[in-house]
Structure 1
Amino acid sequence: MPPIFKNIEVGVEDIGDHMAQYARRHNALPQPRRTLIGSLRGTKILLATPLLRWYLEHGLVVTKIYQIVQFLPKAVFKQFGEEVSDARREGDKDPSKSIIADTMKLIGNSAYGKTVTNKERHLNVQVCTDDKVFQLVNDPFFKNLTPLGSDMYEVDLHKRVIDLDLPLQIGFFVYQYAKLRMLEFYYDFMVKFVHPDDFEYCEMDTDSAYLAISGDSLDDVIKPDMRATFELEKHLWFPRTDTNEHKQYDKRTPGLFKLEWEGSGIVALNSKCYYCFGSEKEKVSCKGVNNRSTQLTKENYLKVLKTGSKVEAQNMGFRVWKNQMQTYIQEKTALSYLYIKRKVNEDGVSTRPLDV
């Protein structure tokens, strides 16, 4: 796993022969696309001190420093984090408090998401008919037009005034700590305690990872000569299991890794687009498409993986227009074979890092 995460523009020439042939054949990547990738090098990357320290300890070479931003750190939101965790623990103990626990989870997650919102991307959205669409299209702040059917259109307009008033540094540090913890788990835990032949990363997000292992559980694949050390350090990575009280408490402790799902297989087509199967409850993810869509089946995921085809799906929604509720249906590509974050090998399944 390349340890340096960066946002860059990726073009057809970067994604390897196998995926490049597919992209050219289907005109799937006519222009370079900006995306987040893992790499072995980076230029002009903003790094928080804890993450930079970890990089240096693991062999990173810094060739140039452009700017240093120094400030006095204070744990001003420590109490907020503790209140969220405590409320979720109470929800685990008492089902009658589950709605409070779920609400606090939402508050905790939305607080982070709001701090890293790019307000420059916010738009004014208007739904109109033929008689007004030409006026809006000729507006100097016009950005995009989407037909909704029945002579209805959705018009996106840039905002005339943008207030840049969010504490971006808070969200930035939370994101950097998340990157640090995921890197620590891979390099300081998995590589240390599990032989590379016994595990493979299938999918990874900001705070989660799906791993294929050669045993029924992670305990089964620990290196024999590292078993004693693993037992001593396990509590640093996973919730304690010595007592039920410790288990329930650590379940809601930030920074510890919890087992959320396990099964026999996963079809991972893209970021936030995968199908997990082989358990009592299968897990489905497809960004931008309702998970209840009838198109999100194991068979369709496998069909895309094996044939390179794509699967369309419908999103249904509603808009208020002239004090009336209007429903609409959007057709969009749900499952696509195109993958540009890594080079896909000729077998169409395994991948290797981009050389950018």
Structure 2
Amino acid sequence: MVSESPRQFKCNKPLQEAVFTLDNSKFWYLNFVYNFLYNCIDMDRVHFCNMDTDSMYLAIAGSQIEGYKQGLKYVIKDQLFYDQHYKEWLPWNDCTVAEEKKLMGITTESQGENIVCLAPKCYSLYNGNEQNDDIVSLVNRMKGVSEKKANLTTNDYIKCLNDGYNINVTTNNLQTKMGIMSMISMEKSALTGIHNKVVVLSNGCCAPFMYEINADHYLID
């Protein structure tokens, strides 16, 4: 936590704690993907739409008859392995809150028929079809801008993805400087096609930043 005073700054959180938290979360994240999903789920029917430090957004091609809240039920390729290990990771029917929120476990935050992912922490989950103009927004997320104040719709995310449509919003924040509190108005990019945290390849995949390595150095099959 960083606190500001007229003449000095103070940081009382050790850097090692932050580094360990990020590294440990990525370890358990990949542990779930490689040691559970890849072993018992048909990954040809599962698409990673977006990923973040402690969350993932999956598009699952399951049953066309059952609704969108079917989970992984219809994409299991090894039922025996799934039955033996799914309780180590996933919640189940009639489980307690403690079992659902277990340490290092996975829980479902929200589900929908469609999702548009622009960047980590920037997505729109919705039901319906944009071609039929019957979209129902379920969750809209963006980073650095209040969802309530931005008042964005799913169509804004779709325009940004398809047409490079950028949306700026004005935010008001309180700022203290030299003991004086002021209201600061800033214009921020709420939705944009630019992603400045990773290298975005021509097929939409993302690769990490590496020294003197750009998108042209990656081979795409």
Whether the TM-score (by the shorter chain) exceeds 0.5 is yes
Describe the superposition over 1:96-144 as per-residue Cα deviations: whole angstroms up to 9, x where unpaired.
xxxxxxxxxxxxxxxxxx5xxxx6xx8778xxxxxxxxxxxxxxxxxxx
Q: TM-score, normalised by structure 1?
A: 0.48
Deviation at 1:247, TM superposition (A): 2.8
Conserved? CA contact 1:240–1:247, under 8 Å: no
1:293 aligned counterpart, secondary structure: helix
Does residue 259 of structure 1 match 2:112?
A: no
In 2, Cα distance between equivalents of 1:212 and 1:230: 19
Which structure 2 residues correspond to residues 315-330 of structure 1 after superposition, within 5 A? 315-319=171-175, 327-330=183-186
Could you tell me which amino acid in structure 2 is paired with residue 168 of structure 1? L
1:296 aligned counterpart, secondary structure: coil
1:311 matched residue in structure 2: 167
- Bigger helix fraction: 1
2:73 matched residue in structure 1: 219
In 2, Cα distance between equivalents of 1:163 and 1:192: 47
Conserved? CA contact 2:5–2:178, under 8 Å: no
2:41 matched residue in structure 1: 194
Count of residue correspondences: 195
Does residue 178 of structure 1 match 2:35?
A: no
1:219 aligned counterpart, secondary structure: coil
Conserved? CA contact 1:193–1:222, under 8 Å: yes
Q: TM-score, normalised by structure 2?
A: 0.74
Structure 1 residues 168 and 208: alpha-carbon distance in aligned structure 2, compared to 1, 3 A threshold: same
1:284 matched residue in structure 2: 140
Conserved? CA contact 1:275–1:301, under 8 Å: yes
Deviation at 1:228, TM superposition (A): 1.1
Higher RCO structure, 1 or 2 (CA under 8 Å, sep 6+): 1
2:202 matched residue in structure 1: 345
Structure 1 residues 310 and 124: alpha-carbon distance in aligned structure 2, compared to 1, 3 A threshold: farther
Which structure 2 residues correspond to residues 95-114 of structure 1 after superposition, within 5 A? 114=1
Deviation at 1:342, TM superposition (A): 3.7
Structure 1 residues 237 and 309: alpha-carbon distance in aligned structure 2, compared to 1, 3 A threshold: same
Describe the superposition over 1:269-314 as per-residue Cα deviations: whole angstroms up to 9, x where unpaired.
1122111112976111111111113442111111111111311111
1:282 aligned counterpart, secondary structure: strand
Structure 1 residues 281 and 298: alpha-carbon distance in aligned structure 2, compared to 1, 3 A threshold: closer
In 2, Cα distance between equivalents of 1:163 and 1:123: 7
Could you tell me which amino acid in structure 2 is paired with residue 345 of structure 1? S
Structure 1 residues 344 and 265: alpha-carbon distance in aligned structure 2, compared to 1, 3 A threshold: farther
In 1, Cα distance between equivalents of 2:164 and 2:137: 27
Structure 1 residues 230 and 321: alpha-carbon distance in aligned structure 2, compared to 1, 3 A threshold: closer
Describe the superposition over 1:63-114 as per-residue Cα deviations: whole angstroms up to 9, x where unpaired.
xxxxxxxxxxxxxxxxxxxxxxxxxxxxxxxxxxxxxxxxxxxxxxxxxxx5
1:293 matched residue in structure 2: 149
In 2, Cα distance between equivalents of 1:281 and 1:191: 31
Deviation at 1:219, TM superposition (A): 1.7
In 1, Cα distance between equivalents of 2:26 and 2:118: 22
Deviation at 1:265, TM superposition (A): 1.1
1:229 matched residue in structure 2: 81
1:262 aligned counterpart, secondary structure: coil
Q: 1:274 aligns with which of 116, 123, 129?
A: 123
The structure with more radius of gyration:
1
Could you tell me which amino acid in structure 2 is paired with residue 306 of structure 1? N
In 2, Cα distance between equivalents of 1:297 and 1:344: 27
Identical-residue share of aligned pairs (%): 26
Of 163-172 and 202-211, the range deviating more from structure 2: 163-172
Structure 1 residues 257 and 330: alpha-carbon distance in aligned structure 2, compared to 1, 3 A threshold: same
